[in-house]
Amino acid sequence: MFNNLWKKNLAIAVILTLTLSMGMITVFATNETNVNDKNTKNAENTISENGDENTFNEEDDLALWDEISEEDNLKLDELDKQLDDIYKKYDEILSKYGLSGYDDVIPEEESSSADQCLDDDNYYDDEENIEEFSLQAIYDVNNEKIVLSNNAKDYENEVLPSGLTDEEKKLHYKIWNYIYKSVPKEIMKYVAVFDIGTDGLDGMLAAVSPLDDKLSKWALDIDIEDAVNKQNKIDYKLLNENITHEFAHILTLNNTQMDISSNINNKKTYETEEGTLKEGSYLNKFYNKFWSKIDKKYILGKDYYDSEKLYEDYPNSFVSDYAATNPEEDIAESFRVFILENKATNSDINSQKINFFYDYKELIELRSKIRNNIGLK
């Protein structure tokens, strides 16, 4: 889905360090991360449908580069040279231990995606550190049931899945039925597509993404390799953790939460990649209470924060390290704990975030329904 986030953090950290030491102003060009786990299939469809509108224009790009002054070009060249030296020294150190390149730094058994649940403080890891999600089956949701799509255009390279056994289909249906019975209809009504695929073991377990700009229809992705254990049985605890987090995104970013009346944000409410939030929306109130006064030193760009440093400096302000990614992931993580655990009793900021949802009667009722559906008292 994306380039490795931890690599991006390293590159930015290096450039920031060099910039400060040289007293230079550097322009950063980064590819914006989709916080809500955008579906690769949808992105590809958007490009193909819009045609040249979203096509890279090489001539325009070159024209912009020509506008850079000679002085700034020299500065950029100097930074490039210093970065090359740093990467060279970095590889020299790694080679002493039989490692080559950044991908070998983190052992495979320690890595997982943003949406892979763990039982310790590393509940989520960088969602970037995963292989591309490969679709195996796409199901259309129709009257609470799922129907396997036989439309080749829905699949990557327009190739229909082949070789799906009856047992595999039964497992897909079993996972869907469990999710549908666990999550109340007020949230499930938004799910129009159910995707099964994998990015490899210990990667992304679940993800959601809007199917259109209206934010009224969403796709739910499940990684079949991570959703079942070695005995090919569904890992219900892991599934509960992940779908609770993911459905928090739908709850806080659907069309009822967005101000679609105008493209101009006159009210100065929080803006997400999906759009501008209403003043009374859950996420806007959460942002105003817990994120609006964050120290600028942690802000690396629009909706992009130095999450590692932020969590390191304020561990009691987040329910997990991944929650420090941005407000969207923070509210989703806090919602997960709100649903699956007891009410917080201390005064820490992370506890305040959990108890934030108790201010809403409808969310207390939602919590009760989900807990009852999955067998929690």
Nearest to 217 by CA among 237, 200, 193, 198: 193
Of 61, 89, 107, the position where a domain reaches its end is 107
What domain range includes position 32? 5-107
Residue 118 domain flag: no
CB 246 within 8 A of CB 332: yes
Dihedral, 224, 229, 231, 232 alpha carbons, nearest 10: -20
* CA distance to 16, 79, 113, 130, 220, per residue, from 135 (Å): 38, 40, 17, 14, 12
Domain's final residue, options 107, 139, 166: 107
At position 351, the amino acid (one-letter code) is: S
Q: What is the DSSP letter of 46?
A: H
Strands (DSSP E) contained in 88-144 are: 134-142
> Considering 54, 88, 107, which residue would you say is the last residue of a domain?
107
In a domain, residue 353? The reply is yes
312 lies in a domain? yes
Residue 360 in any domain: the answer is: yes
Residue 291 lies in a domain: yes
265 and 283 Cβ atoms separated by less than 8 Å: no
Q: Is residue 138 part of a domain?
A: no
| Residue 57 is assigned to a structural domain of this protein | yes
Do the domain assignments include residue 16? yes
Tens-digit pLDDT string for the chain (377 aa)? 333 333 344 444 444 444 434 443 333 333 333 334 433 333 333 323 333 333 334 344 444 555 677 677 667 766 766 666 676 666 667 666 655 544 444 343 333 333 333 333 333 434 443 457 788 899 999 988 999 988 777 776 656 677 788 899 999 999 999 999 999 999 999 999 999 998 888 888 999 999 998 999 999 999 999 999 888 899 999 999 999 999 999 999 999 999 866 555 566 899 998 889 999 999 999 999 999 999 999 998 877 899 999 999 999 999 999 999 999 999 999 999 999 999 999 999 999 999 999 999 999 999 999 999 999 97
What's the domain count of the chain? 2
